[in-house]
Chain A
Amino acid sequence: MKTTGKVTGIIANLVTVEVDGPVAQNEICFIDLDGVELMAEVIKVNGNKASVQVFESTRGLQIGDKVEFQGYMLEVTLGPGLLSSNFDGLQNNLATMEGVFLKRGEYTKALDEEKLWDFTPLAKAGDHVVAADWLGEVKEGWLPHKIMVPFNFKGTYTVKNVVAAGQYKITDTVATLTNADGEEVKVTMTQKWPVKVAVGGYVEKPRPFKVMETGVRCIDTLNPIAEGGTGFIPGPFGCGKTVLQHALAEQADADIIIMAACGERANEVVEIFTEFPELKDKHTGRSLMERTIIICNTSNMPVAAREASVYTAMTLGEYYRAMGMKVLLLADSTSRWAQALREMSNRLEELPGQDGFPVDLSAIISNFYARAGYVKLNNGQSGSITFIGTVSPAGGNLKEPVTESTKKAARCFYGLSQNRADKKRYPAVDPVDSYSKYLEYPEIIEYLDEKIEKGWVDKVTKTKYIIRRGKDAYEQINILGDDGVPMSYHEQYWKSELVDFVILQQDAFDDIDGSTPLERQKFMLDLVLEICDRSFKFDNFEECTTYFKGLINICRQMNYSEYKSEQFEKYLGQLKEELKHE
């Protein structure tokens, strides 16, 4: 029998319920408000009082309203049909909701239960299988969607039978398994999983050893992210977090992109809804929407569901990873999620940590980032989740709890700088402060040696050195004046400007410059480094300035031209000509 209860207190979306039976932490319950069922999650229990956070507005709720507990945690439905969908934070399908406004208590099914899928068996009677093993496959668009032994099955099972190839609904039984005790269990094409629990079902999680190409030069060339790696992008508002995230979603070399819009602007999500179906995936030529899933809890949607949205996104990622897919998960912004935690902690009257955030914030964030990773599956194949979150630090000050906690958890740091954004140097990723820990991994160095060229990481280190020296020179020039420093300072500074304008800055809105393949990145870096290796003899700093501005201009024209095209070669010729009279 289900535990029931009655409402005894209400402050905003925190409701206290007096219960008549057992309740579990994180259990889901429904509150009856004149026939409208409001979903809520238990976040604290004290005696026979449970504190629940309601995923909807509590307007009109009264003392004494009835509550029914469900016996399960917040969970998502997994199965074919997730791809290209637009869900809210609780996995309601936004496309099938009626009316322009979101109605309170309206929950829609995540998956279409009527649709027929072409099923092909992969396992056969007598096979021994464990959770996450592949039993069959359906075509979810281009994607060979594996039907797996449900993640919550414990121990080894024997396949009794798998249905023949044919068309089935997701709720149809496609396999029957027998457990060690000889009991039979039926498996359909769909299963449920609690979002706050990490999905297992893999043999090992090795250190990431490959680089994920993103087409963004300041990431790929300077601070690459590993496939299965983690990174974060903190930055004040207006520094281009969203544009950078969208560029990653459009260009990254991944099979599946999951975007969690967590407490951000609705118009940004609309941009994805509108543009992704039209845009082509540069790697496969298919529409971008065909590889994208959107989890959308915009800033005006219920605060409690914001927290759920990032977990929902991660769980869907883990599901596809278990099929051997390369998943890129983007969450914008994890600060909003942390703020949702703060609001709730505040209402629960918990003793606050720094800036009012809950004291376990750091642990919660680390735990979440740890769910990403490259895994080896039971059948020897591999899958990965690469996770990049954005952080919106209050006042642009990176010394705040969310940024600090995330810094401990993520391996790549792409700090956006207000100064660069003010100068319209986009992407505004700070080349000096940002880092990728993966550049220190021997596995990654080896991979890049092979993938690009031997000694590539040394070139990257050298590039960073040029940038740092340029910055020092710039500071000196500013203190001592143009005439107060040796000519070499000007040269140093302008070499770093060359790197900045040609390699770091990239026009995300330009069709050609917006996305740069690795091969082209290598070509341009070699070109720029070759110039930086030369030593010049200028008579005065104005000559130096004019000369380098000319070089930068030609290189930028190259960036805007089709790689190796006639135009590109023309500019290259011009550049070589310029370099003759140094």
Chain B
Amino acid sequence: MSEKAFQRIYTKLSAITKATVTLEAQGVANDELALVAGRLAQVVKIKDNAVTLQVFGGTEDIPTNAEVTFFGEPPSLNVSDELAGRFFNAYGEPIDGGPAVEGEKRQIGGPSVNPFKRRQPSQLIPTGIAGIDLNNTLVSGQKIPFFADPDQPYNQVMSMVALRADVDKIILGGMGLSNDDYLFFKNQFESAGALHKIISFVNTTDQPPVERLLIPDMALTAAEYFAVDKNEKVLVLLTDMTLYADALSIVSNRMDQIPSKDSMPGSLYSDLAKIYEKAVQLPDGGSITIIAVTTLNDGDITHAIPDNTGYITEGQLFLRADPDSGKVIVDPFRSLSRLKQLVQNKKTREDHSAVMNTSVRLYADAANAKTKLENGFDLSDYDLRCLDYAKEYATRLLAIDVNISIEEMLDTGWELFGKYFTKAETGLKEKLIEKYWKDKE
């Protein structure tokens, strides 16, 4: 980012907090960028001549006589095909040693797509993971987060999904990524030979938290360039949105806003929606699909961050360790893909939704049986069969290390029904039973 020579330089700050500075200045526009003692800052409030700036790099050791210059424009990113294969920081500056990107300068956080111009998402994104493809099928243009405790391998699963998905570009927005995880992503992409279609915007844990606020908008501006201008299929990975929301609360706190639930700003819903709603299926074939990560505190989805996220996104993928099978599974109860019915039975076999619903219902019966067992009650024959079924279902279909086609997933489902249950116990439509039922071998 370059300074403009004719801009006036201010040198008198009237207030400093941990995240913001305030000064008297004229002719300043809302949202525009400035440099405060060499650090990038953005206008967040103007009252008469008092301008409040949010300093992305933090305000440590900024003196009251720090130099402030205004840029006269909001944050932007240079977009062109040169973005592909590159790594950037939160400001869109290269961190891979390469040259700056030449291209059209676009303001980040731009307008939203006219809902009437959108198309209905209808393209299946197969991942090979049955917990996703069978139970929570993903569709291009969807937005969906992984809900996971910090000890779950969410970044691994996400990179696996990204590399298996058939897309033109993968854009990684890393917020508060540990250096190790950043290198993990880099290695994964490199060893898959996919670097040419990857673009990364990364803020690591050793960088100031407020910088993270720029990451999603940077990533999505790049995504819109490829999806809208180039009609490409773009997959955006955002990890970890909980750390993004934490940064929002830091800024609103410093601006003395009244916090709402869990000390989050009252605008959290709108702030998150602005990002997730960039997911879109465009009329000319381009699409933006967003897969995000929201880390949870001990599985608590009632916290304001996962709660608001759940209301915005089109479902969630819930990872948890399953003690019975010893595997990390995609929890079939808590996970949901809201767009799955757009492709199930249409782009997949006719028995897809029936197999999915029945296998999950039987898994729920197994959960009841397990409760009975834990309470020291005798189990019925049905209960025992459910428990056996559950273990095999978890191992062969729910575990994240599964990599099979959807057809195989459905066949496995029928195999398990036949192995453990009678036709009546499954409650499946007779038409399907006639065609697909597999008797116990």
Q: Once bound together, how far apart are the Cα atoms of A556 and B280, in whole Å?
A: 38
Given the known inter-chain contacts A59-B31, A270-B118, please indicate yes or no for A397 contacting B46, CB distance below 8 A: no
Interface hub of B115, B141, B301 (most chain A Cβ within 10 A): B115
Question: B429 near A542 (CB under 8 angstroms)?
Answer: no
Partner of B228, one of A100, A356, A557: A100
Segment among A119-127, A297-305, A369-377, A459-467 that sits at the interface with chain B: A297-305
Question: A481 near B375 (CB under 8 angstroms)?
Answer: yes
Segment among A5-13, A69-77, A285-293, A379-387 that sits at the interface with chain B: A5-13
Q: Once bound together, how far apart are the Cα atoms of A343 and B266, in whole Å?
A: 6
Question: B260 near A342 (CB under 8 angstroms)?
Answer: yes
Task: Determine whether A247 belongs to the interface, using a CB cutoff of 8 Å to chain B.
Answer: no
Within 8 A of A (CB), among B6-64: 26-32, 44-49
Q: How far is the CB of B252 from chain A (nearest CB, A)?
A: 9
Partner of B269, one of A60, A97, A339: A339
Inter-chain residue pair count (beta carbon < 8 A): 211
Question: A545 near B283 (CB under 8 angstroms)?
Answer: no
Interface hub of B27, B118, B314, B341 (most chain A Cβ within 10 A): B118
Segment among A134-142, A259-267, A525-533 that sits at the interface with chain B: A259-267
Given the known inter-chain contacts A9-B48, A101-B114, A267-B118, please indicate yes or no for A62 contacting B28, CB distance below 8 A: yes
Q: How far is the CB of B180 from chain A (nearest CB, A)?
A: 32
Task: Determine whether B65 belongs to the interface, using a CB cutoff of 8 Å to chain A.
Answer: no
Given the known inter-chain contacts A300-B278, A355-B260, please indicate yes or no for A273 contacting B116, CB distance below 8 A: yes
Chain A residues with CB under 8 A of B184: none
Chain B residues with CB under 8 A of A394: 261, 302, 304, 307-308
Question: A356 near B266 (CB under 8 angstroms)?
Answer: yes
Task: Determine whether B427 belongs to the interface, using a CB cutoff of 8 Å to chain A.
Answer: yes
Question: B114 near A97 (CB under 8 angstroms)?
Answer: yes
Question: B29 near A542 (CB under 8 angstroms)?
Answer: no
Segment among A172-180, A217-225, A408-416, A547-555 that sits at the interface with chain B: A547-555
Question: A100 near B113 (CB under 8 angstroms)?
Answer: yes
**B429, closest chain A residue (CB):** A560
Question: B112 near A301 (CB under 8 angstroms)?
Answer: yes
Partner of B378, one of A100, A422, A423, A482: A482
Question: B371 near A478 (CB under 8 angstroms)?
Answer: yes
Question: B46 near A10 (CB under 8 angstroms)?
Answer: yes
Question: A267 near B339 (CB under 8 angstroms)?
Answer: yes
Q: Once bound together, how far apart are the Cα atoms of A274 and B301, in whole Å?
A: 32
Partner of A95, one of B112, B116, B121: B116
Task: Determine whether B348 belongs to the interface, using a CB cutoff of 8 Å to chain A.
Answer: no
Question: A356 near B115 (CB under 8 angstroms)?
Answer: no
Q: Once bound together, how far apart are the Cα atoms of A242 and B341, in whole Å?
A: 13
Q: How far is the CB of B223 from chain A (nearest CB, A)?
A: 14
Q: Sample 19 A-B pairs with CB under 8 A, ordered by A number.
A: A10-B46, A59-B74, A61-B30, A63-B28, A95-B116, A102-B112, A102-B114, A267-B141, A267-B279, A273-B116, A298-B115, A299-B277, A300-B273, A339-B270, A346-B258, A395-B304, A422-B333, A423-B364, A549-B427
**13 extra A-B contacts, CB within 8 A, seeds A482-B372, A552-B427:** A9-B47, A60-B74, A63-B49, A86-B115, A266-B118, A270-B118, A270-B281, A342-B260, A343-B270, A346-B257, A394-B302, A549-B424, A553-B427
- Residue ranges of B at the interface with A (Cβ–Cβ < 8 Å): 26-32, 44-49, 74, 107, 109-121, 141-142, 228, 257-261, 266-267, 269-270, 273-274, 277-283, 301-304, 307-308, 310-312, 314-316, 333-334, 336, 338-339, 341, 353, 357, 360-361, 364, 371-372, 375-378, 380-382, 424-425, 427, 429-430
- Residue ranges of A at the interface with B (Cβ–Cβ < 8 Å): 8-12, 16, 57-63, 86, 94-95, 97, 99-104, 236-238, 242, 263, 265-267, 269-271, 273-275, 296, 298-301, 303, 333, 336, 339, 342-343, 346, 352, 355-356, 392, 394-397, 422-424, 478, 481-484, 509, 541-542, 545, 549-550, 552-553, 556-557, 560
